[in-house]
Chains A and B, each alone.
Chain A
Amino acid sequence: MRWSFPTAALLLSVVLSGCALKPQQPVPLNQEAIAAKGGKVGVAMSALPKVDTYFPGADCLLCYAFASASNSSLTKHTETLTRDELAALQEDVAAALRKKSVDAVVIKDPIDLKSLSDIRTEVPTAARKDFSPVRAKLAVDKLLVIDVQQLGYVRTYASYVPTSDPKATVVGAAYLVDLKTNTYNWYVPVNVSLSAGAKWDEPPKFPGLTNAYFQALEAGRDAVLKPLTETNLLPRTEPVASVVK
């Protein structure tokens, strides 16, 4: 049997798209889950990533090398930026929960999410990691996870050519897992992207972009903290990114 190229490409795309899971959609905070008698809540945080530069779209090796070289002064500048505001988020979340009379404990050691096995599911509230080992280890009923995956500056490329100015970015998610059922009581994606304004290319200190970075940290913190401190929550239907931009 001979396959024509279009047929083979179509078949391949069908197979590959069938493998892809939909991104986790936001889950509104279940207020009952953080009620005073909702059980003990552990607040965990994954290890914060290094503050860095990201160049999506510079996909080929030479493209990435070119993008990396042309933004080297900005990358060097990221080494001077602190992450203290995000590091304090774990304690701040625990404090917000305690204000609601929740028995909250801070899990000091960073949680290694990669060590947990994946669960493939399309159920909107089903956790995509198996947290059962955590339940046994930490002796908590629920686990609030803060997972920051990307921190620094993002600049989009079309191969060798930048298609945007660099923007400060904080990408991650925060979620509350009921460890008895391994389901989300809350899931909020964080996708902050903020520009420096009209002027950004100011080496070596990049004051505009530095300011945008700290703005992004605050926006990321707000995205996590606000739902926990609001009293009358409305169902969240839009990604947080559209709110914090």
Chain B
Amino acid sequence: MTSASTSGARRIRWKGLAGWVISGASFCVAAQVGPAGPAIGSAEQPTQNAEAQGPTSSPQWVLRLPSTDPVAFKGVENFDSAGIGGGFIAYPAPNAAGLLAAVIAHSLINEAAKNAQKVKLKEEADRILAPYRSVLSKYTHAELARSVKPPSGLAGGTWQIDSVPVFALTQDQTALVLDNEVSVKASGVPIYEGVIRVVSAPLAESDPVAHWSRGDGAALRLLGGDLLRESIELAASRAAKTLPLGTGKQQTFRYYEGKTLKVERATLLVDGCARRVLLTLRETLMSVPVSAAVGACTTPDTGPQAPEKKNTDTSVSEVEP
């Protein structure tokens, strides 16, 4: 995956005070790749002016997304079947040097075969995107960025968020999974870096292709924007240390990724009504859906859900450690 710090720049700037400036005019495609400079395109002039006012008590923000379009999509992969079998091999080895050479040659051939198999598995996983190619080819980072709202809970200063989002569609086509490689800098100092995974609630439509394709992929774009917004919010919360640290006790959690029951060993950070936020064993953040079946909520949170219908069959259940 491309490093967030070298992701190039499609920038959106916000300023604090009464409200955040966020509109189409805030976007700019920067030609250079690298850290955000103070000057960018003319379309962003109003925000530049705001930024040039000097330190204020309210934070100023820059969000940078990859400069190359379209937005990255793939199919959810599964490497459980990877491997090319084993067994005893009789090496043609007249002496120790010959044996070593034969083993090295075998190892190289074998490694190439394993890599080829993984590439093939990825290609097979990506075939699920075939019905959506025309929609996804027009999905730009500028459009994606429009859905991002200013994250909450941060103190003053200048903040820069670099984001490299990669979306994956489950093989049953009922959910999207975002892996967003995010780095957050406060006044140029890195304060958070990591991959944040956000899993959407499953779609309950009987014809997911028709659902996602309708209106030139309106539902797909809407959900993609929601997932990105959730990930940026989590990154900002983590950077600002407003996200709970959790108990530190690792537990096994179950959740649905589409129609597939998944398991994650993690620490619970936020136990919301609609979503849970977990700290994985890789110490990355993960937001997963919770079904209504788990328990009644008095203060429902608003995380990314598949548009329209909700699937009450899905559940996240905590397994006692």
Contact = CB atoms under 8 A, between A and B. Distances in A.
Given A167-B80, A211-B281, A245-B80, A158 B88 contact: yes
Contacts of B221: none
Contact of B80 (A85, A156, A158, A193): A193
Nearest to A222: B261
Contacts of A156: 83, 85-86
Interface string A195-236: 101100010010110110011011100000000000000000
Q: Is the interface of B mostly helix, strand, loop or mixed?
A: loop
A214 B79 contact: no
A70 to B, nearest CB: 11
A163 interface: yes
Interface stretch (B32-40, B52-60, B106-114, B148-156): B106-114
Interface string B275-313: 000001111000000000000000000000000000000
B83 A211 contact: no
A244 to B, nearest CB: 10
Contacts of A165: 79, 82-83, 114
A162 interface: yes
A214 B103 contact: no
Contact count band on A: 35 or more
B110 A162 contact: yes
Nearest to A82: B321
Nearest to B113: A163
Contacts of A202: 282
B18 interface: no
B106 A195 contact: no
Interface stretch (A56-64, A126-134, A135-143): A56-64
A60 B86 CA distance: 13
Contact of A163 (B79, B80, B114, B262): B114
A158 B89 contact: yes
A194 interface: yes
Nearest to A215: B263
A161 interface: yes
B254 interface: yes
A75 interface: no
Interface in B159-208: none
A32 interface: no
Interface residues of B, number: 33
B256 to A, nearest CB: 14
A239 to B, nearest CB: 14
A153 interface: no
A73 interface: no
Nearest to B252: A214
Given A207-B280, A215-B263, A56 B86 contact: yes
B106 A57 contact: no
A60 B93 CA distance: 15
Contacts of B84: 163-164
A205 B262 CA distance: 21
Nearest to B90: A159
Nearest to A207: B281
Nearest to A216: B263
B81 interface: yes
Contacts of B263: 211, 214-215, 218-219
Most buried by A among B79, B86, B280: B86
A157 B86 contact: yes
Most buried by A among B80, B84, B254: B80
B265 A195 contact: no
A60 B281 contact: no
B252 A163 contact: no
Contacts of A160: 89, 103, 106-107
A174 B103 CA distance: 40
Interface in A166-204: 167, 193-195, 197-198, 202
Nearest to B109: A161
A42 to B, nearest CB: 24
Nearest to B86: A57
Contacts of B17: none
B262 to A, nearest CB: 8
Nearest to A217: B252
B184 to A, nearest CB: 22
A218 B252 contact: yes
Contacts of A88: 320
Given A159-B89, A161-B110, A214 B83 contact: no
Give the 3 A-B residue pairs with the shortest CB-CB distance, closest first.
A57-B86, A164-B83, A207-B281
17 contacts: A57-B87, A158-B87, A158-B88, A159-B106, A161-B106, A163-B84, A163-B86, A163-B114, A164-B83, A195-B78, A197-B77, A198-B77, A198-B79, A207-B280, A207-B282, A211-B281, A218-B254
Interface of A: 56-60, 84-85, 88, 156-165, 167, 193-195, 197-198, 202, 205, 207-208, 210-211, 214-215, 217-219, 245
Given A198-B118, A211-B280, 16 more contacts: A88-B320, A158-B86, A158-B88, A158-B106, A159-B88, A163-B83, A165-B79, A167-B83, A194-B80, A195-B78, A195-B79, A198-B77, A207-B282, A214-B265, A218-B319, A245-B80
